[in-house]
Structures are given as structure tokens and as C-alpha cells.
Structure 1
């Protein structure tokens, strides 16, 4: 069985204790994006995300991003994705989550990809300086490939989120995710993301990000490793 090669974003925001009940925050990012691997291009990208605090223990996060590149009239890159997750705190350390997602990336071999998962997590610490949490659970994935074939998978998913706040204006956010096919041991995927964000003026920040993704069994004729570099201006409101 071949693995679909893209992993959707999971929430990297602080947990429920950092927001007030009924609070709704939105984020827009515009900037430069460069890729290597299955695509090799430089283009512009756009990202929108929001977070909402339903109750003292339950929060919701949504994120979508897109980029499209052309050179001399030929398409060089294309990706659209969306992800939503609900977190519920059982106590100060343990939480559960449910997530759904969608992806289109023909350069990695996917016309459409759909994800859904459930799991639990544990927060080691969460203060003004640092956040560290781990997650684990089940994820189902179904994909329509550019070849015309369809694939579905059952994964064990584990992840680690870390945030470090150097001061009130600058922070570093990192995330590591791994998926292991429950039917084939050699079918696994690892994704690492990190981003440095620093405030410029009120509501505006500069964000520099890097992502590397390794898929041990990619779609036929596709590369195993993809990287994405972004530099953008973020507007928070």
C-alpha cells in the first residue's frame, strides 16, 4: 500500500487557559514561499486562521492556506489545504482532540485528500515562557490521486508541540508529527515545522517559517522529501 504524502496542520496555539470564554481571534498572513522536492519554485502564499474559546475547557481552531505558481505560462506549484481541530481539557494536563482536514496538491500526486482523527494529549508545562505538549491518536485518510486511483489508510499519529517566548514580541514555535500505517510498518511519514515570529507594529508581525516532510513510501514517481520556506507579514485581529 502506498502512503499519501501530505500531512495537514495541527494547532500550535496555546491551550484554553490563555483565552477568555467567547474570545475569537483571527490571523492573516501574506508573503513569499519557496519549495524543493516534488516542486521547485518561488511564489506568493496566503494563510488565514482563527481560534475560538467555546467554554473554559473547550477551544476550536481553523486554518487554511494556499499558493499557486507559474513560470513562462507553465504551472510550477499548487497547494490548497484546510484543517479544523477541537480541543477539550479534562484537567490541567490531559486533553482530548478531534480533527478534520482537506488537501489538494497535484505536485505530490493528490487531486483531493481527506483526513479525520481522534486522540489525547498531555501538557508538560504551559507558562509565559514555554509550552510543551504531546499528542497521540488514530487518523483515517482517503485520497483521490492524479493517476485516477483512490487510496485509504489507517494511521497511528503522534506529535509534539513546543513554543518558546523570548519576550513579549518574539517567539519560536516548533512542531513534530509522525504517522505510522497500522497495516504496513514501512509506510510512515515524518513532518517537522518551525517558525520564528516577531512583532513589528500594533497587530502586525514578521514570520519566518520552515517545513520539511519525509514520506518513506510516496505516491509512484514522487520524491520522498519536500521542503517549504516562508517569509510573511502577519496581521492579528
Structure 2
């Protein structure tokens, strides 16, 4: 559990630093050209039950020339300790085994530059790992155009469409690469002066095998506690129409195939820190 002790201390320090920042910018101060939002979710139990669940999402944005660069990072890790109690020859034997039951990491960078008030172009690159879904490393890069369908004080809808290239390596050592078509929609709505709804949908079409459709979805709400701190609840899904498969070998017996699940979901409550 050392990993989670470090994470817990780091999270507390981050909150302390954030709380010490001024909640309101000084009047007349120069407007900054960057922003950073961090979401933290932590569950840790000790004693008779030992489990640890940590999730972090960090979104950084900065102005570069006439465009904007966004760098997003996601991490999720869950550890569970199982205790087995036995009487062996009149002696109490306690065995505890700690194992990781969920772990995933994602890093994406994207640059957007306006063409007109509503139209823009983008270039993006990303990396992803989820060994529990069979993915050892997945790299993707692409470019396309984006369009703002509407935006006002209450809500915003924008979309993107583009082409990309994906290279994946699976946990059994096999790999694949393919061209993909990407579509993306994002909708944000102000529910009140201190709360908002956010949703995203990304569709990825494998152009080499069109039956291999993938989708990433997100919907959630957040409520401000102060100018810098908020609470958020979100539900995310990840779908793969043709998930990876593993060939399981046992000498003297026929090989068997195991197929990973095609749908992963995550329900998360988080503390949101805005810098």
C-alpha cells in the first residue's frame, strides 16, 4: 500500500497549497494565458478490510500563438488485500495477499488553431495503457477540423472530425496498426451560476476493419464550493466492438481463446481543483 500512502500525502499537500492560494485574483492583475484543472478521487480502507482506489484527471491548457494547446492525463489504480485465516496443526496462520485489480493510464495532447470564428483545425497525439483490458501500449496520432455549432452564456456544442493512425501492442506480445476515422462531440451546459453539466462522445472507426468500432463517452455534473474548488460526479464508458483476445496454452490440450469484455464503465466522485 506504499503507493497509496504516497498518493494520499501528495493529495493532502495539493489541497493545502490550493487552499493557501488567493481565491480572487488581484484587481488589475494581468490575465494569465494558461489554466489547469485537477480531479482527485481517493478511497482507502485499513484494518479488517484493506482496499485502495485512486483516480486522477489533470487537464492543462495554454495559449500558443493564435491557438491553444491542451494536455490531458488520466490515471486509475485499485489495490485489494485478501486475507485467508487457517488453523494448521493447531497454529493460527494468516496469509494476506495484495493485488492490483484495476489499472489504466492515458495521456493526450492536442493543438487547436482557429480558421474562422467557428471553424478550426487540430493536431493530436496520445498514449494509452490498460492491461486489464488487454492493452499493453496504444499510440495514436491524427489531425482534422473542428466546428463550434453554438455557444452562449448557458451552453456550448462543438464537434471534431479527422483521420488518424493507431499502433497497439497487446499483453500477449502481439500487435496491430491501422488508420482510423475520428468523430467527437462535446456539450456543456450551465445548470446554475455554480453548477454545470458536461458530456463528451468520441467515435473511432477502424478503417482497415470497419466492424471494429470504438467509443468513449463521458457525462457528469459539477458544483462549485469556491472559486477554485468544486465537487464532480461523472460516468464514463469505453466500448470496443472487437476487444483483444488471448490464446491460452496448456501442453497436451487444445488451445483456448479468451476474449476481453467489450465495455468498461467508471462511476467517479471527485474533488476538482482549478488553478
Structure-2-length-normalised TM-score: 0.72
**Equivalent of residue 228 in structure 1, options 257, 263, 266:** 266
Encode CA deviations 1:3-33: one digit per residue, 9 max, x unaligned.
Answer: xxxxxxxxxxxxxxxxx98611111211158
2: distance between equivalents of 1:85 and 1:184? 26
- The match for 1:173 is 198
Q: Deviations over 1:25-54 (max 9, x none)?
A: 111211158xxxxxxx97221222211122
Question: Number of residue pairs matched?
Answer: 210
Q: Any residues of structure 2 matched to 1:34-183 within 5 Å, and which?
A: 43-55=53-65, 57-72=66-81, 73-183=98-208
Distance 1:187 1:42, change over 3 A: farther
SS of the residue 2:225 aligns to = strand
In structure 2, distance between residues paired with 1:230 and 1:216:
24
Deviations 1:48-76 (A, max 9, x none): 22111224x41111111212111121210
Secondary structure at the counterpart of residue 107 of structure 1: helix
Distance in 2 between residues matched to 1:210 and 1:47, nearest whole Å = 13
CA contact (8 A) 1:133 1:162 kept: yes
Q: Take 1:194 and 1:183, find their aligned partners in 2: how far apart are those partners? A: 30
Tell me if structure 2 keeps the 8 A contact 1:188–1:216. yes
- Cα pair 1:211 1:228 within 8 Å, conserved: yes
Report 1 or 2 for greater relative contact order, CA contacts < 8 Å, sequence distance ≥ 6.
1
Distance in 2 between the 1:28 and 1:122 partners?
Answer: 26
More helix by share: 2
Moved over 3 A (4+): none
Rg (Cα) greater in structure: 2
Q: Gapped runs of 5+ residues in structure 1?
A: 1-19, 34-40
Q: Within 2, Cα distance between the matches of 1:22 and 1:31?
A: 28
Aligned match of 1:193:
218
Cα RMSD (Å) of the superposition? Answer: 1.8
